[in-house]
Amino acid sequence: MCISNEMMTEIKSTLTQFGKTTNNPVPILKDCFPNLTFLRMSDADMGEPPYLSLQDYNLYLLDGREHCVQITHNLEHATGVVVTQKNT
């Protein structure tokens, strides 16, 4: 399942609304978007700029269409989202 612009807007809204209530928003995101893959990683482990930077989180898009998963900036190829908490 690829991620649409509307879905990314909903993900952003969900993180903005519920992100401050938890240190790990992935379970909330999985409940709200059960057909998507969400991973939580350290921002220091990411080697490129995020697809979307929010106040508390950075979002990276996963492309899992091929044998090896990779980061993409193309929503049409995105099959999941990596959520990293910003260092404050």
Domain residue extents for the chain: 5-85
If one counts every other C-beta atom within 10 angstroms of the C-beta of residue 28, the result is 17
What global pTM score does this model have?
0.89
Q: What is the pLDDT of residue 31?
A: 94
**Where is pLDDT greater, at 1 or 63?**
63
**61: enclosing H helix or E strand:** strand 57-63
pLDDT in tens, 9-47: 999 999 988 767 777 899 999 999 999 999 999 989 998
Q: What is the pLDDT of residue 1?
A: 62
Q: What is the pLDDT of residue 56?
A: 87
Q: Is the pLDDT of residue 88 over 70?
A: no
Say whether 19 sits in a helix, a strand or coil: helix
